[in-house]
């Protein structure tokens, strides 16, 4: 496993989060702008806005499925190597690369100092890359 493979996984994880946030923004937008549906025809532009919303959500849902498939392939190929590391290193690598979380958030979740999380991350990266070189 290389740092490039880990970075590719992190990129995919961050993209999935970004797409999910965009889907939620679209849902919130349409809920704010849609009138109540009472079955009566309305001469407004809401129909066009709703159609555009549906098209955008469909596009983002398709993208999310595509990204999730790519992520699954990456995770399958990398998880064995990551999980062979000592637990704190493996957990740190997993949260950072597979879940796309930042150093501060990982530190909060693991109840560690940011510097300690950074060290665990670097140690884990070093161990994974040296394991790959030996095989």
What pLDDT digit, counting tens, does each position of 64-93 carry?
Answer: 788 877 777 777 777 778 888 899 999 999
Question: What DSSP assignment string belongs to 58-73?
Answer: HHHHHHHHHHHHHHHH
The dihedral over CA atoms of 47, 53, 58, 59, expressed in degrees to the nearest 10, equals: 130
Average pLDDT over residues 96-110: 92
* Cα 127 → chain centroid: 24
Q: Is 45 a residue whose pLDDT tops 60?
A: no
Which of 7-21, 27-41, 65-79 ranks highest by mean pLDDT?
A: 7-21
Instruction: Share the mean pLDDT of the chain.
Output: 79
Q: Is 110 a residue whose pLDDT tops 80?
A: yes
Measured CA to CA, the distance from residue 92 to residue 109 in angstroms comes to 10
Look at the block and give the residue holding tokens 């190597």. 81
Q: Where are the domains of the chain?
A: 3-33+57-134
Average pLDDT over residues 101-125: 95
The dihedral over CA atoms of 58, 17, 7, 82, expressed in degrees to the nearest 10, equals: -110
Q: What sign has the CA pseudo-torsion 70, 73, 74, 76?
A: positive
Q: Is 39 a residue whose pLDDT tops 60?
A: no
C-alpha distances (whole Å) from 106 to each of 4, 15, 57, 79 are 21, 18, 30, 18
Task: Identify the pLDDT of residue 114.
Answer: 95
Specify burial of residue 89 (Cβ count, 10 A radius: 0-12, 13-18, 19+): buried
């Amino acid at each position: 496993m290389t740092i490039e493979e880990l970075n590719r996984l992190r990129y995919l994880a961050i993209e999935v989060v970004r797409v999910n946030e965009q889907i939620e923004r679209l849902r919130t937008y349409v809920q704010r702008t849609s009138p109540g549906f009472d079955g009566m025809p309305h001469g407004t532009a809401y129909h066009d806005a709703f159609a555009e919303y549906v098209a955008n959500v469909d596009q983002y849902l398709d993208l999310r499925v595509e990204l999730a498939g790519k992520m699954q392939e990456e995770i399958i190929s990398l998880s064995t190597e990551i999980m062979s590391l000592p637990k704190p290193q493996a957990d740190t690598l997993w949260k950072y690369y597979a879940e796309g979380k930042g150093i501060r958030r990982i530190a909060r979740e693991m109840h560690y100092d940011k510097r300690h999380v950074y060290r665990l991350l670097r140690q884990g990266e070093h161990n994974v890359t040296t394991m790959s070189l030996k095989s």
